[in-house]
């Protein structure tokens, strides 16, 4: 037998990642996900069954380089234990410089119970499932088990696998309530070439490459995970076969620090719940606009050639999918150098609590983005939320962006015309592509660039939108190429006057617009009607000269008074206060409610709308 020694530790990061063409939208609902493990045929109930009978098992004890087998189905050859028959095998003790192999004669099911076992192999995988129908690794209750490898592997013949401390060519299941500690020094910690299913357990993983990866699917129903990875934290890789490459998480606690992506699916990513604390690429301080090293996220451990192509691209995103990304619950604290949430296709958020800080974009979808429910706080981003089409049906969203707050675009990222690192592409390359639809929820935008920006159209039917900014004259609170139909809900926006725009004349609901508003940061305004009734009390977080306001309370053609220079008492997340909170006021502006458009010289980020600036009397 020919042996080949390879040290792959210094392969480049671009060979670590699987970025592939988009596939169809994930259709698995929470009911389906609770009964099947994504694309596999393994039921969640079967995967979580960690029961075993000691009397019907083969007991194997380790003592340094000595292996003692009590039972049938397994044999020791020096420091190598080979399991060749179906059954349950209970491993305990410490094996130094050895390996546990599974090579069943008829590809049967094997259960390996780690009952206080430590396995160290300096030249290969600690556990290698070479052939089986499925292999189940059960972590015995109350035990801590450790697997580790070395920086250099010795391969059989000309193979380049196994390349993980725990490696399986067959379906791999991990269950039990014990603890598994993995120190992966060559490449990856846990890798399965078929489906990988984790039902429960405590996992403490340090890996120079990816921490946990399943080729056909990775399904996690529960568990506690502490991961420090030189590549991705969690990853699925099969983008070639339809229905494969999915990554599904039902629940669990995840603390992931990764050089590359926190969680990456080569096709569809679905998260139903769990608690996630993820830091990628050095965190948001390593940003696309401020760091000269952005995009060079180190050179982690090796990646098997079969898993990579020359086109693989480095990234350090929090949650990433090539296909669809669907989140229906969970708590997410993400501090990412790259996009916090990213997909090459569609994103749908129907629940969850998100606290995001991104060195690039907060949430990006090449195609469509829909938010139905959830609490989303984007505390730092280049662009807050962007996609070709964005639909906001509900939720509470607050974001801060150094460029556009909410952006719908086509082709390359329109805000990256100078080739900014992190520039994204979109599903449509057509001029004027982009649609922002707001049907409900609350959106608060703090933007240095455009507040709401569409290369196409904006339509608001309900909900509450507050926009603070920009302050420079080359951006606008509203920026659209085609139309902004203001049909319902409450909109208040303050910003600079140079590019200020109102909604379109095709709006069904009246609005106020002025570019003659002297407003300082943290200064309160109050809008009153013809009879002195209070329509709005608002505190801006930025200096402004323009204001756009629309509410169902406005009457078309009626004159309204905007009083500036006031103060407010109390606290509010949106900047909108009760009328009684306002006091003072040093100057007033009178504006009439209208549905006639007026505003700046450019739309859609140099799109080219030209409208007259409204006239407002200042007192």
CB 495 within 8 A of CB 546: yes
Q: How confident is the model at residue 305 (pLDDT cuts 50, 70, 90)?
A: very low
Q: Compute the residue count for the chain.
A: 619
CB 30 within 8 A of CB 330: no
CB 434 within 8 A of CB 408: yes
* Stretch 596-609: mean pLDDT: 52
> At which residue do the structure tokens 């139903």 appear?
272
Q: What is the number of alpha carbons within 13 Å of residue 473 lying toward its C-beta? A: 4
* Stretch 614-619: mean pLDDT: 37
pLDDT higher at 350 or 299: 350
Residue 447 pLDDT > 60? yes
Helix then strand count (H, E) for the chain reads 2, 56
CA distance 205 to 187: 12
CA separation, residue 122 to residues 147, 183, 184, 231 (Å): 11, 11, 10, 21
> At which residue do the structure tokens 């399943």 appear?
214
For residues 25, 31, 34, 37, the Cα torsion angle rounded to the nearest 10 degrees is -40
Q: How confident is the model at residue 604 (pLDDT cuts 50, 70, 90)?
A: very low
What is the reported pLDDT for 293? 63
Provide the mean pLDDT of the chain.
Answer: 86
* Lookup: tokens for 111: 């259960």
* Run of H or E including 173: strand 171-175
* Lookup: tokens for 90: 């209970």
For CA atoms 320, 330, 460, 554, the dihedral sign is negative
Closest CA to 491 of 466, 470, 516: 466
Q: Please report, in angstroms and rounded to a whole number, the separation of the first and last CA atoms in the chain.
A: 93
CB 102 within 8 A of CB 132: yes
SS3 per residue for 418-468: CCCCCCCECCCCCCCCCEEEECCCEEEEEECCCCEEECCEEEECCCEEEEE
Q: Which residues contact 470 (CB under 8 A, 6 or more apart)?
A: 447, 448, 449, 450, 451, 476, 477, 495, 496, 542
pLDDT digits (tens, 9 = 90+) for 133-190: 999 999 999 999 999 999 999 988 768 899 999 999 999 999 999 999 999 999 999 9
- Work out the number of other CB atoms within 10 angstroms of the CB of residue 519: 23
Domain range list for the chain: 3-304+312-360, 459-618
Percent of the chain whose predicted confidence (pLDDT) is above 90: 76
Q: Which residues contact 417 (CB under 8 A, 6 or more apart)?
A: none
* Lookup: tokens for 251: 């629940």
Taking the model in full, what pTM does it have?
0.88
Q: What is the number of alpha carbons within 13 Å of residue 216 lying toward its C-beta? A: 18
Closest CA to 124 of 157, 89, 68, 167: 167
* Stretch 57-65: mean pLDDT: 98
CB 29 within 8 A of CB 277: no
What is the reported pLDDT for 418? 39
CA distance 278 to 261: 9
Residue 308 pLDDT > 50? no
pLDDT digits (tens, 9 = 90+) for 347-401: 999 999 999 999 999 999 999 999 999 999 999 999 999 999 999 999 999 999 9
What is the reported pLDDT for 496? 94
Q: How confident is the model at residue 429 (pLDDT cuts 50, 70, 90)?
A: low
* Stretch 249-277: mean pLDDT: 98
What is the reported pLDDT for 397? 98
Q: What is the number of alpha carbons within 13 Å of residue 584 lying toward its C-beta? A: 11
What is the reported pLDDT for 610? 31
3-class DSSP state for residue 588?
strand
Angle in degrees, CA 132, 135, 141, rounded to 5: 160
pLDDT higher at 459 or 25: 459
- Work out the number of other CB atoms within 10 angstroms of the CB of residue 133: 14
Is residue 108 packed enough to be buried (19+ CB in 10 Å), middle (13-18) or exposed (0-12)?
middle
Q: Which residues contact 542 (CB under 8 A, 6 or more apart)?
A: 446, 468, 469, 470, 471, 494, 495, 521
Residue 4 pLDDT > 60? no
The DSSP output letter for 72 is S
pLDDT higher at 484 or 432: 484
Strand partners, 153: 6
Residue 605 pLDDT > 50? no
CA separation, residue 143 to residues 139, 183, 586 (Å): 7, 17, 71
Residue 544 pLDDT > 60? yes
For CA atoms 522, 523, 524, 529, the dihedral sign is negative
């Amino acid at each position: 037998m020919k042996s080949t020694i390879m040290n792959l530790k210094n392969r480049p990061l671009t060979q670590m990642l699987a970025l592939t063409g988009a596939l169809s939208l994930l259709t698995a609902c929470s009911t389906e996900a609770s009964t099947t493990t994504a694309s596999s045929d393994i039921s969640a109930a079967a995967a979580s069954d960690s029961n075993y009978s000691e009397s019907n098992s083969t007991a194997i004890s380790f003592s340094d380089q000595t292996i003692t087998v009590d039972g049938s189905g397994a044999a020791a050859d020096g420091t190598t234990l080979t399991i060749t028959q179906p059954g349950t095998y209970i491993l305990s003790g410490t094996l130094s410089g050895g390996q546990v192999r599974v090579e069943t004669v008829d590809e049967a099911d094997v259960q390996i119970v780690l009952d206080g076992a430590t396995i160290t192999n300096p030249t290969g995988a600690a556990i290698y499932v070479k052939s089986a129908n499925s292999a189940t690794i059960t972590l015995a209750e109350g035990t801590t088990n450790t697997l580790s490898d070395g920086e250099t592997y010795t391969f059989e013949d000309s193979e380049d696998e196994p390349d993980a401390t725990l490696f399986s060519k067959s379906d791999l299941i991990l269950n039990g309530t014990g603890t598994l500690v993995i120190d992966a020094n060559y490449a990856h910690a846990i890798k399965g070439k078929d489906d990988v299913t984790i039902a429960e357990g405590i996992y403490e993983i340090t890996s120079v490459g990816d921490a946990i990866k399943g080729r056909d699917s990775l399904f996690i129903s529960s568990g506690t995970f502490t991961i420090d990875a030189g590549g991705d934290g969690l990853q699925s890789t099969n983008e070639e076969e339809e229905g494969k490459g999915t990554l599904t998480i039902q629940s669990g606690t995840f603390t992931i620090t990764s050089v590359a992506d926190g969680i990456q699916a080569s096709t569809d990513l679905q998260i139903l719940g769990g608690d996630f604390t993820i830091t990628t690429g050095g965190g948001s301080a390593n940003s696309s606009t401020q760091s000269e090293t952005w995009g060079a996220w180190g050179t982690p451990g090796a990646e098997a050639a079969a898993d990579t192509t020359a086109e693989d691209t480095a990234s350090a995103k929090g949650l990433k999918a090539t296909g669809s990304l669907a989140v229906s619950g969970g708590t997410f604290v993400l501090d990412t150098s790259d996009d916090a949430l990213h997909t090459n296709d569609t994103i749908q958020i129907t629940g969850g609590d998100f606290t995001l800080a991104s060195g690039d974009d907060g949430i990006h979808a090449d195609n469509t983005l829909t938010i139905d429910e959830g609490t989303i706080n984007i505390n730092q981003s280049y662009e807050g939320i962007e996609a070709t089409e964005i639909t906001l049906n509900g939720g509470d969203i607050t974001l801060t962006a150094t460029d556009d707050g909410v952006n719908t675009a086509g082709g390359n990222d329109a805000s990256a015309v100078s080739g900014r690192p992190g520039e994204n592409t979109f599903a449509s390359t057509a001029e004027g592509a982009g649609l922002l639809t707001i049907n409900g929820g609350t959106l608060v935008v703090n933007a240095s660039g455009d507040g709401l920006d569409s290369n196409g159209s904006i339509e608001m039917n309900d909900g509450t939108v507050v926009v603070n900014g920009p302050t420079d004259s080359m951006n606008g609170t509203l920026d659209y190429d085609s139309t902004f139909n203001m049909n319902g809900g409450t909109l208040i926006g303050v910003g600079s006057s140079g590019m200020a725009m109102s909604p379109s004349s095709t709006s069904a609901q009246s609005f106020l617009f002025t570019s003659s508003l002297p407003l300082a940061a943290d200064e309160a305004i109050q809008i009153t009607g013809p009879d002195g009734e209070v329509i709005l009390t608002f505190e801006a977080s930025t200096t402004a000269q323009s204001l756009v306001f629309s509410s169902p309370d406005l009457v078309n053609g009626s004159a309204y008074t905007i009083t500036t220079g006031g103060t407010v008492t109390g606290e509010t997340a949106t900047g909108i206060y009760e009328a009684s909170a306002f006091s003072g006021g040093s100057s007033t502006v009178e504006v009439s409610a209208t549905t006639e458009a007026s505003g700046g010289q450019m739309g859609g980020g140099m799109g080219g709308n030209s409208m007259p600036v409204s006239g407002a009397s200042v007192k």
